[in-house]
């Protein structure tokens, strides 16, 4: 029992940062249009991560798109500007999206 609890605690410590960013994405309304592993209104975050894998400037580029919105990369539907997100939050969200596999 004690061992199980320790394992659980270790697992939670590893998972916590990722969960915090999911909570941020949820609180910023991103998950109204996106899911991690399936297309909703916008592309799934796994698809986004796969598309930009290996591109060094991807996090900056996506952070700026998250704030300003834009269209034409994934289809005809535009992403509206997300004015509720500041630069630091956008960078954090972009980094988190790019880490989805
Ligand atoms: C109203 C729906 C909607 C909301 C809310 C929304 N998105 Fe999007 N998102 C989209 C659509 C549609 C696209 C595809 C745009 C395109 O094809 O260029 C997209 C694209 C993206 C991309 C990929 C951009 C690219 O150029 O490849 C990322 C990353 C992203 N969204 C993150 C976010 C984050 C983070 C939030 C929350 C702050 C968010 N989105 C909120 C609809 C939305």
* Residue of minimum CA distance from atom 39 in ligand 1: 30
Span 24-82, pLDDT tens digits: 999 999 999 999 999 999 999 999 999 999 999 999 999 999 999 999 999 999 999 99
Q: Which domain holds residue 81?
A: 2-98
Q: Domain count of the chain? A: 1
CB of 85 sitting under 6 A from ligand 1: yes
**Nearest residue to 75 via CA among 33, 37, 36:** 33
CATH number for the domain that contains residue 31: 1.10.760.10
Residue 93 and residue 30 in contact, taking contact as beta carbons nearer than 8 Å: yes
The yes-or-no verdict on residue 22 having pLDDT over 70 is yes
Pocket test for ligand 1, best of 22, 33, 49, 83 (most atoms within 8 A of CB): 33
The structure's pTM equals 0.88
Whole-angstrom distance, CA of residue 57 vs CA of residue 75: 22
Alpha carbon of 19 to ligand 1 centroid (Å): 19
CB of 52 sitting under 6 A from ligand 1: no
Q: What is the pLDDT of residue 5?
A: 65
């Amino acid at each position: 029992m004690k061992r199980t609890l320790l394992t659980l605690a270790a697992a939670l410590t590893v998972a916590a940062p990722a969960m915090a960013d999911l909570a941020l994405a949820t609180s910023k309304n991103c998950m109204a249009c996106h899911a991690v592993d399936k297309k909703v209104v916008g592309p799934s975050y796994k698809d986004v991560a796969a598309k930009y894998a290996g591109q060094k400037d991807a996090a900056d580029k996506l952070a700026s798109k998250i704030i300003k919105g834009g269209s034409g990369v994934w289809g005809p539907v535009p992403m509206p500007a997300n004015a509720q997100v500041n630069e630091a939050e956008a960078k954090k969200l972009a980094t988190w999206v790019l880490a989805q596999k």
